[in-house]
Every structure is written in structure tokens, then in C-alpha cells.
Structure 1
Amino acid sequence: MSWGLAAAFLWLIVANVVAMFPSRDQHWTWAYVLIACGIPILGWVTWDSGPIWGMVLLAAGASVLRWPVVFAWRWMRRKGAEPAE
């Protein structure tokens, strides 16, 4: 197993452990930290192990951080529905 995959699996473990603890801000602070750390790890895995592993880990990360993905999708749909100026 490459170091990139090991880092990605460690990221997934940390994300799941963080989700177990109660939080006043519904874990949004941790979500931002995990996104900031996860994007470079995802690029590293894709570069090192190939695009298949990159897509698998992108799906795994999106399932862990599903609410930021849902809100980003809604925001993009709203921006796409606005008339051009």
C-alpha cells in the first residue's frame, strides 16, 4: 500500500472519530479542516495510485462529508438558475 493510501485511510478514520463527538457548531469547523486536509491527500492518491483509487476515495470522502457536498450542490444549482446579467 502506498503512503498516499495510508494517509487517506487515516483521514477517513479521523473523520469518523470526529463525527462521534458532540459539537456546538454541528461539526462545521472540523468539516472545513477535513476538507482542507483531504483535497491534497486526494490529489496525492490520484497521482500515486491512479484515477480509480482517486474516484473511490472521492466517493468515500463525499459520503463522510455529505452535508457540505449537499450545500455546495444546492449553491451551484442556484447559481446556474440565475439569469445572466
Structure 2
Amino acid sequence: MSLPLILAALWAVVANVLAMAPSKDNHWRSAYALIAVGIPIVGYVTWLHGPWVGILVMAAGVSMLRWPVIYLGRWIKSRTLHR
């Protein structure tokens, strides 16, 4: 297994451990940190393994961080449709 895939798997383990830990802010700080670390990892995976593996890793990350993605979609929708 290559280094980028190991980093992606480690990211997924950390995301699951953080999700199990109690949080006063509904895990938003953890989500921001995971996004900041995850974007370069997805880029690294895509660079070494191609776009299809990068898309799979990105889909796995989006499935774990679905609420930030849902809120981003809602925000984009409200900014584009109400003008």
C-alpha cells in the first residue's frame, strides 16, 4: 500500500475516533481540521493513483463529513437562487 493511501486510511480512522468523542460544538472544529488535512491528502492520492482513486477517496471523505457538505450546498444554493 502506498503512502497516500495509508494517509487516507489514517485520516478515516482519526475521523471516526473524533466522531465518537464528546464535543460541545457538535464536532465543527474537528470537521474543519479534518477538511484542512483531508484536501491535501485527496490531492496526493489523485496525483499518484489517478483521478478515479482520488474520486473514491474524496467520496469516502464526503460520506464521513456529510453535514459540512450539506450546509455548504445549502449556502451555495441560497447565494445563487435568491439573487
* TM-score bracket relative to the smaller structure: over 0.9
Higher radius of gyration, 1 or 2: 1
The answer on whether the counterparts of 1:2 and 1:49 sit within 8 Å (CA) in structure 2 is no
Which residue number in structure 2 is paired with residue 9 of structure 1? Answer: 9
TM-score calculated relative to the size of structure 1: 0.94
Deviation at 1:50, TM superposition (A): 0.8
Q: Mind listing any 5+ residue stretches in structure 2 that lack a counterpart?
A: none
Higher relative contact order (CA 8 A, sep 6+): 1
Which residue number in structure 2 is paired with residue 82 of structure 1? Answer: 82
RMSD: 0.6
| Percent of residue pairs identical | 53
**Runs of 4+ in structure 1 over 6 Å off:** none
Q: Mind listing any 5+ residue stretches in structure 1 that lack a counterpart?
A: none
Rounded to whole Å, the distance in 2 between the matches of 1:80 and 1:47 is: 32
Which residue number in structure 2 is paired with residue 50 of structure 1? Answer: 50
Which residue number in structure 1 is paired with residue 70 of structure 2? Answer: 70
